[in-house]
Amino acid sequence: MHDSAAKGYFSLVRQNSNFRNLWFGQIISLLGDWFNLIASASLIALLTKSGLAVGGLFVVRMLAPFLVSPIAGVVVDRYNRKHLLIAADIIRGVTVFGFLLVRTPGQIWLLYTLTAIQLGLSGFFFPGRNAILANIVARGELGAANALSSATWSTMLALGAALGGFAAGRWGIYPSFIIDGLTFFLSAIFISLVRYQPPAAPSAHSTRAVDALREYLDGLRYLKSKPDILVVTLLKASMALSITGAFQVVQVAIAERVFVIGEGGAISLGVMYAVIGIGTGLGPIFARKLTADRPKDLRIAVVWSYLVAALGMVITAPLFNFPLALFGMLLRGVGAGVNWVFSTQLLYQLVGDRVRGRVFSVEFALMTLMNAAGATIGGWGVDMPTLGMGDLMWGMGGLTLVMGIAWMLWLVFRPAVAPQEIPA
């Protein structure tokens, strides 16, 4: 897919009403999500004073989607994806209001439980949204739609995290939960305006659990038979393990202990999330000008994504001052963003609609599992008196470099594959 064949970002939003409504829903929902994350992390840090407890929040956020992935992938491929997205938004909105009940350290279990429900539903929502995207845009629009959607995630990370940190630091934590709940309902309204015809009627599928399990296993066998696609589905998981999972916990500790701005460092935490969001948003947009969605160039750019992310950790690790640390975090965001967007684009080019939901569900599950592992290690490391945050970040940068080398070796020695093939 070349730039000449792909519509520009503005024309895509202006001319494709289905994408526009899905995109507006994404903008609103993500704004609330980042309010929620900042508020949840700040609340746990405030009530428990424990890095491991904060790490537990990220573990729950990542394990919940992983546990529902066998069901989610089959559901996304079986049923009306639009209805699935609307239902997930409404139930998540109701769930988030329960966060208002968490007031004491003894109620942290409730926050974990509600987070598990919320993110478990996200395990249905995000693979469903990725799968439906290819159903509502033309092939020539897909690269722009994917890049714009991912850039929106990053932009709302920047804006939502900054506003969420400011709101929590200035007015307190609980208003953020109210805002998040309301955004889910508004997102559902926009998604309801999307005109979408499911590829297969729900009645064509068996409702037996054993048949659903068989379909999920068929998806895993599909990946096993396509090693190149399988390796691409591991790209986000590798970055999650090496950097993103652990750093989510480490940056909470940095905000709380090193660069403290606002109540419990909530404002500085929001600023860090914002800078990372800017990097993850702008990195893929500029890199796409060089790759033009060409499969070979996308793969090479992923190598560079690991190198840039590792360099970001090396710059951040000494924690000399806040501006320099933020620059390192910006580079870390650029690397992670390019990895995320380009691995998704490669899957769009390689995977057909019949199994797309299951493939994206497996990818999301692996990513969340590795994020959980990284968050666990990060929480443990932050609480270790003999292990500094700088040591953790040096280790994260080194592991990211190893992951990049592994991907580069795969590009050299992988079996030959057909270029830019989109199966039916």
Question: pLDDT: is 51 or 1 the higher one?
Answer: 51
User: b/e for 216-244, b at 16 or more Cβ within 10 A?
Assistant: beebeebbeebeebbbbbbbbbbbbbbbb
If 0-12 CB within 10 Å is exposed, 13-18 middle and 19+ buried, where does residue 166 land?
Answer: middle
Q: Which of 83-87, 151-155, 254-258, 289-293 has the highest average model confidence (pLDDT)?
A: 83-87
pLDDT at 203 over 70: no
| Mean pLDDT computed over 61-65 | 79
Quote the pLDDT of residue 199: 61
Quote the pLDDT of residue 191: 92
Position 398 confidence tier, pLDDT thresholds 50, 70, 90: very high
pTM for this structure? Answer: 0.71
Q: For 17-195+217-413, which CATH class?
A: mainly alpha
Four-point Cα dihedral 380, 64, 215, 187, nearest 10:
-130
Provide the residue ranges of all domains of the chain, joining segments of one domain with +: 17-195+217-413
- Which range has the worst mean pLDDT, 108-112, 280-284, 400-404? 280-284
Question: pLDDT: is 42 or 241 the higher one?
Answer: 241
CA-wise closest residue to 69 among 132, 116, 118, 123: 123
Position 6 confidence tier, pLDDT thresholds 50, 70, 90: very low
Mean pLDDT, the chain, whole residue set: 81
pLDDT over 90 for what percent of the chain?
22
Position 245 confidence tier, pLDDT thresholds 50, 70, 90: confident
| Mean pLDDT computed over 248-266 | 81
Q: Is the dihedral of CA 186, 187, 190, 193 positive or negative?
A: negative
| Mean pLDDT computed over 198-208 | 52
CA-wise closest residue to 114 among 136, 135, 94, 96: 96
Four-point Cα dihedral 306, 274, 147, 368, nearest 10:
60
Quote the pLDDT of residue 97: 92
Q: Which of 2-6, 152-156, 369-373 has the highest average model confidence (pLDDT)?
A: 369-373
Cα radius of gyration (the chain): 20
Position 212 confidence tier, pLDDT thresholds 50, 70, 90: low
pLDDT at 1 over 50: no
Quote the pLDDT of residue 4: 38
Farthest CA pair distance, the chain: 61
Supply the DSSP string of 43-77, one letter for each residue: HHHHHH--HHHHHHHHHHHHHHHHHHHHHHHHHHH
Return the structure tokens found at 245.
């999972």
pLDDT at 355 over 90: no
